[in-house]
Structure 1
């Protein structure tokens, strides 16, 4: 399991939202490049960036800032936030983004997004599937979690397997930003059911013990945002913990 440090960007500045709420945000003073470089210096091999302005309004996508970050940081970066058209994908790949993270659009317009997989290759995408677990069903939430669909996590994954789906970022919404541990059982189930997919776990990592627990699920990677920003542990400590 690899550690994937994550930053959320608003107006060029690092912020953290609680449970995806734009009104509940914490701002951080470090520049995104400095913060990412620090993670890379400590051993991070891959990074995750969310453009919150782009997520709210694709016309406000921070392309110039993202390009500056991608060029300034010596590690591949996956970027998401309001990716809705093939032009959005093209622009991000053109500025050197390693993989484009696609969420709501993949759920609402699957045929359109599957055509992007055909165009650019499955390895260019990470499907971000935000999951709300209700009565043992893993239902997909979209539009910044404001809407819960009747589509299940499994149905979306299986639909995209037709176009060679390789990377899935799965968030248990109830855990996000709460620092209370990951839903290990969820990821164990997914890895067993879909062994060829590289799953990235997201949500709930608050301490090294949470990483140790999650490591048993055999996911490909874990997204860590708030815990690193708030110095619950360092990237170096996290990597050492997983190598034990």
Structure 2
């Protein structure tokens, strides 16, 4: 199982939110590039970058930081946050991003998503952010009536190969992931599932790994020193 250290960028700083609430922002570093280099040096094989400003209001004010990270590390990175057009996808791929993650588009513009999957194949991934089983969009600011499991089946049918699934109620709360939903997804789809939200302990990682998930994103637990990344890597490799 791949462990993805998360670097959430707001105002070109490395931050973390709790449950996606922008009023809960904590700044962990003024230099996201140095943070990226740190995780790479410890052994990360892939990074997860989120443009929080883009997720909220579709701007691209963190482009400079994302570009600098891409030019400063030798491991691949996946990036999401406010990506709702093909132009944004192309610009990120041109920066060297290996996988571009869309979220709102999967609910609001499914025809475009189908076209993009045909065009860009595995360079496109989808993030499903769920609250009480319903999909949230626009930087988690809007929760509709779309069932989070049903949409995953749709995404598999149109050719999506990688899915980031976040239980918003768990995100940044250091309370453990929603194992039940990942069990459902593993049974009902063949998509590569990346767990996100609440991954806090070595036991969490061991359990997710034993469920044969493709990956897990770790954020606040790393930044609050609740989890040692080297130990987490060791746990993720265990059979």
TM range (shorter): over 0.9
Instruction: Specify the alignment match of 2:26 in structure 1.
Output: 26
Match of 1:184 among 179, 182, 197: 179
> What does residue range 91-110 of structure 1 map to in structure 2 within 5 Å?
91-110=91-110
TM-score with structure 1 setting the length = 0.92
| Aligned residue number for residue 231 of structure 1 | 225
Match of residue 154, structure 1, among 145, 149, 152: 149
CA-CA distance at 1:130 after TM superposition: 0.8
Provide the C-alpha distance between the structure 2 equivalents of 1:158 and 1:131, rounded to a whole number of angstroms: 15
Please list every run of at least 4 consecutive aligned residues from structure 1 whose deviation after the TM superposition is greater than 6 angstroms. none
- Is the 8 Å Cα contact of residues 93 and 100 (structure 1) preserved in structure 2? yes
Q: CA deviation at 1:30?
A: 5.5
What is the 5 A alignment of 1:1-244?
1-29=1-29, 31-121=31-121, 123-133=122-132, 138-195=133-190, 197-244=191-238
Q: Provide the C-alpha distance between the structure 2 equivalents of 1:112 and 1:63, rounded to a whole number of angstroms.
A: 23
Instruction: Report the TM-score, using the length of structure 2 for normalisation.
Output: 0.94
**1:150-190 Cα shifts (integer Å, max 9, x gaps):** 21123322322333110000011111111111111211111
Matched-pair contact (CA < 8 Å) for 1:185–1:217? no
Which one is further off, 186-195 or 74-83?
A: 186-195
SS at match of 2:29: coil
CA contact (8 A) 2:52 2:139 kept: no
SS in 2 for 1:161: helix
Unaligned runs of 5+ in 2: none
How many residue pairs get aligned? The number is: 238
User: Are the aligned partners of 1:205 and 1:227 in contact in 2 as well (CA < 8 Å)?
Assistant: yes
Deviations 1:16-41 (A, max 9, x none): 11111111110113521221222112
**Aligned Cα root-mean-square deviation (Å):** 1.5
Instruction: Say if 1:53 and 1:33 are closer, same or farther in 2 by CA, change over 3 A.
Output: same
The CA distance in 2 between the partners of 1:153 and 1:115, in whole Å, is 22
Deviating more after overlay: 7-16 vs 232-241: 232-241
Higher mean C-alpha deviation, range 139-148 or range 111-120? 139-148
